[in-house]
Structure 1
Amino acid sequence: MRQEPFDFDGAYGDAYERLARTVIPGYLSSFRQALALLQGRLGPRARLLVVGAGTGIEIVTFKRAEPGWRLTGVDLSAQMLDTAEHRVREAGVEAGVTLIHGTVDDLDAADLDAADLDAADLGAAHFDAATCFNVMHFLPDDGAKQALLRGIANRLPPGAPFVLFELHGDRAAPDFDELFAAWSRYWKIQGMGGPERVEFRARIDAGIHWASEPRIRELMARAGFKDVRRYFRSLLYGGWIARRAR
């Protein structure tokens, strides 16, 4: 049986947080930037959907700054959610946090804490905002990327902000090879050893589904987002903020 290059419920999941801090430029800062952007658009009682809850750093970052926000995190990895649950509890911010094992399409009013929903919230638009960090590049561009973005959009009301943070790039573009080589050297600068760099490069080659920035913007528009603006770029990582269109 072919082993998944990114086994988030296995050895890769065990090492994920250390690896993310090593290879993603501005990893911790990325959550703080999203927080700063969302604070400018949301009130103190906002409901947020966090797609790819991961190890819970994003949720804890948001809740410490905005204790009145109610956050629902979804993730396909039970292992990641166990870590997130422990981190949220350890930080003392579990009130108003719901963690769901599954995808956006698994979200249902029955899965959400009744205290987090008003009677008017029982339609599709449960949330006032959403984020999606480091998820879409694991999905092939065969409809899966589009379905993810559309699923998020369908759970937001018109005008609601959405923050996307992604590894991205056009492999045919003139600058891709230079940026990828620089990113690879960044791993070494960050202290990643030679054997680990070789292993990680093999995972990238086998499991990353690249999309260019124009393609990402196209997918977001087709999913129902408008006013897409890039607010961050570092090597092959980018961050965009958009609004749900009518």
Structure 2
Amino acid sequence: MLDIGRQKAEENGITSRCTFHEGYLDSLPASDPFDAATCLLVSQFLKKAEERSHFFGQIAQRLRPGGVLISSDLVLGMSPPVHQSLFEVWLRMLGGSGWSEEDIEKVRAAWRLHIAALTPPEIEAIIAAGGFNTPVLFFQTLFIHAWFSKRTATN
């Protein structure tokens, strides 16, 4: 993804305005605050709320006051029977698009073992606790929700 992002920046002549970094937030060198950050389908792998809040706090520390965060996560937001029904439909769709039964079972196991899917209000509260204004939901499809939020002036 980083290579594709760099290629797109080059194609659009904006490479000089970009900083590309492969690694974790704590390995990002000190710099002037950024105007924006993206966190796409990452934080659901942090299973404890305090870890997630700290993660968003690290992002907030890298942004100027008012800097924008675009974040998406896998969510729970429906009753368990509805969620399970949609999950099974999604897995069947993966099978119909050529995924092997073994790979589909890996997805099922990953949801159980590695993903902390929370409800949208829980995720919004965690982002806000990390130093952002109340997140605004701007996209949703099946299990993916995306928000934008601005870094608070006091963080």
TM-score by length of 2: 0.82
Deviations 1:156-188 (A, max 9, x none): 111111100211215765532222222212212
- Which position in structure 1 is the counterpart of 2:85? 178
Which residue matches 1:226? Answer: 133
Q: Is the 1:187–1:197 Cα contact (8 Å) retained in structure 2?
A: yes
Structure-1 residue corresponding to 2:17: 70
The one-letter amino acid paired with 2:96 is: I
2:60, 2:131 within 8 Å by CA — same for their partners in 1? Answer: yes
* Alpha-carbon contact 1:171-1:210 (below 8 Å) kept: no
Q: Which amino acid aligns with 2:28?
A: L
What are structure 2's unaligned runs of at least 5 residues?
Answer: none
Q: Between the two structures, name the one with larger relative contact order (CA 8 Å, sep ≥ 6).
A: 2
Counterparts in 2 of 1:69 and 1:131: CA distance versus 1, 3 Å: farther
Please list every run of 5 or more consecutive structure 1 residues that lacks an aligned counterpart in the other structure: 1-53, 73-97, 110-116
Percent identity, aligned pairs only?
27
1:136 aligns with 2:57: no
1:1-150 to 2 correspondence within 5 Å?
56-61=3-8, 64-65=11-12, 67-68=14-15, 70-72=17-19, 98-101=20-23, 103-109=24-30, 121=32, 126-150=33-57
TM-score (norm 1): 0.55
> Per-residue CA shift, 1:190-223, capped at 9, x if unaligned?
2212222123322322211122111110011111
* Shift >6 Å, 4+ stretches: none
Q: 1:66 to 1:182 in 2, by over 3 A?
A: farther
Contact 1:137 1:209 (C-alpha < 8 Å) held by counterparts: yes
